[in-house]
Amino acid sequence: MKRELLSMVMVALLLLSVSGSAEEIKNPGDIVYTFPVKAVLFSHYSHVKKASIQCDTCHPAIFKTKALAVESYPDFNMQALYDGKYCGACHNGGYAFSSDTQCARCHIGVKGANMYGEEIGKIKDMSYYMPKNTTVLGEGMYAASFNHNVHNVFECDTCHTSIFSFSYTPGEITMAKISEGKYCGECHNGEMAFASTNCVACHSGLSER
Amino acid sequence: MISELERREFLKLGLAITGVFAGGTLLSVVSQFDRVFASIDEYKHNYPYKPHYCMVIQQDRCIDCERCKKACAETNHVPEYGYRTTILERYVPDAVGQKREFIPVLCMQCNNPPCVRACPVKATYKDKNNGIVMMNYDKCIGCKTCISACPYNARYFDEERHAVDKCNFCFDTRISKGEKLTACAAICPAGVRIFGDLSNPDDRVFKIVHQLQVPVWVLRPEVGTKPNVFYTKGLKGVV
């Protein structure tokens, strides 16, 4: 009996360890800047998951939604940060640790950059931060579903924030506007994606809820 | 910075305090302390070299961009497999906030250099004028004894030259040609490396090494090499 119990525990532990390692996503959405110095790490995980900051706190007012876009700005340097721009908007010693302290907290250097290897310049696994299930916009008969997972072949800046802001205002999106080629209609025009006349593709089954 | 004699005096003092004054007041310790330390004025006339080249490294400002390594290699023709200066990384996973720090290292231009003592043919020597530990590549027989003698791993064997090579504060490539800074100090975007003359009281390095507000230390003091490369943190606004 004792031996059986022991083996059961062992098997359980083994399963736990296997499933644990398989599901682990390590720091999804990391961005490694290599300009003007090599290299600086921005962690979406620390900001979104640990500090619970919403997307629209930074995007697009402080940073464009396109990863690394800020590298092309000539004033993307420490002085700009001290003047309250970019990271310095929060990292001023008030909201977050001041940008003139703890240099190597963000600066991971050449050694850090080498650890990221070919992943530098690519932002991966942002879907980790998106709603996992279908998002329902609107209520009752107007309700429509949207699934980020179906759309995550695109970069964030394909839709945000030129087509959609990060927050949804009820009544903002109407079928009339979509037929005019706005909102979903930008792509769902029958050419790039299925036409917006295909009602049930988004409005199906929601009345049962 | 403390001479061997002073160190001994200081240690003797410590023993005297525990032996005789155990249970005595702290005041008595302080007053004894005052008597032992020499004044700064005394030091500045006693630097053995003129100029006495040295470097202060602001360790908390290094971001491992490695522009210093690149500039050094280009200036001094350092091959891929070797280095005259490099950046060490220290990772402290359970530290609060910043968990990683970068430590630039180079030849410490020791006042008591183990490499010079180890060299069987006097190919490496302490320059009599400026205190830089120099290499005479023609004399070097490539025995590599100096490499193993160096406590700072600051030397490498240059295959092409068939001689050991090391940092000489860019003496042949820059300083002797009138440049004020070494290649690494000149390129550093964060002002980590402060190069100067320790025998000049107007020089920033003199002021840093002789102030008492922020700590200044050397690497591996226990090996008794008396380095001329100093490390500090939190210097901003002090000197």
* Residue spans per domain, chain B: 4-38, 53-232
Put simply, whether A104 touches B (Cβ < 8 Å) is yes
Query: How does the average pLDDT of chain B come out, rounded?
Result: 87
**Across A116-125, B27-36, B199-208, least confident range:** B27-36
Mutation target vs B (from A81, A105, A106, A110; most B CBs, 10 A cutoff): A110
Q: Average pLDDT, stretch A82-105?
A: 96
**Residue B35 pLDDT more than 50?**
no
Answer for the pair A184, A164: CB distance below 8 angstroms, yes or no.
no
**Residue B234 pLDDT more than 60?**
yes
**Residue B27 pLDDT more than 50?**
no
Residue of B nearest to A102 (CA): B98
Residues of A with Cβ-Cβ distance to B61 under 8 angstroms: 103
**Residue B77 pLDDT more than 60?**
yes
Q: Is the ipTM of this complex over 0.95?
A: no
**Residue B146 pLDDT more than 90?**
yes
Query: How does the average pLDDT of chain A come out, rounded?
Result: 84
pLDDT tens digits, B202-217: 999 999 999 999 999 9
Which of the pair, A135 or B123, is modelled with greater confidence? B123
**Residue B19 pLDDT more than 60?**
no
**Cβ of B89 and A109 within 8 Å?**
yes
Strand pairing class (B163-166; B155-158): antiparallel
Environment class of A138 (CB within 10 Å of its CB; exposed 0-12, middle 13-18, buried 19+): middle
Mutation target vs A (from B64, B102, B233; most A CBs, 10 A cutoff): B64
Q: How confident is the model at residue B79 (pLDDT cuts 50, 70, 90)?
A: very high
Q: Give the DSSP letter of residue B23.
A: T
Q: How confident is the model at residue A13 (pLDDT cuts 50, 70, 90)?
A: low
**Across A118-127, B36-45, B189-198, least confident range:** B36-45
Residues 118-177 on B with a CB inside 8 Å of A are: none
Q: Which residue has the tokens 């179906």?
A: A150
Residues 15-74 on A with a CB inside 8 Å of B are: 37-38
Instruction: Enter the CATH code of domain B53-232.
Output: 3.30.70.20
pLDDT tens digits, A26-46: 788 899 999 999 999 999 999
Predicted pLDDT at B30? 40
| Token couple for B17 | 């305090």
Q: Average pLDDT, stretch B29-44?
A: 52
Which of the pair, A63 or A25, is modelled with greater confidence? A63
**Residue A154 pLDDT more than 90?**
no
**Cβ of A110 and B64 within 8 Å?**
yes
Give me the phi and psi of B169, to 5 degrees please. 55, 35
- Name which of B63, B99, B236 is nearest A109 (Cβ-Cβ): B63
**Cβ of B62 and A112 within 8 Å?**
no
Three-state SS at A51: coil
Question: Could you give all domains of chain A from N- to C-terminal order, each with its CATH number?
Answer: 31-126 (3.90.10.10), 130-208 (3.90.10.10)
Predicted pLDDT at A21? 42
**What is d(CA B216, CA B224) in angstroms, rounded to the nearest whole number?**
16
**What is d(CA B156, CA B163) in angstroms, rounded to the nearest whole number?**
9
Answer for the pair A106, A42: CB distance below 8 angstroms, yes or no.
yes
- Name which of B66, B102, B236 is nearest A104 (Cβ-Cβ): B102
Residues of B with Cβ-Cβ distance to A111 under 8 angstroms: 64, 87, 89
**Cβ of A105 and B99 within 8 Å?**
yes
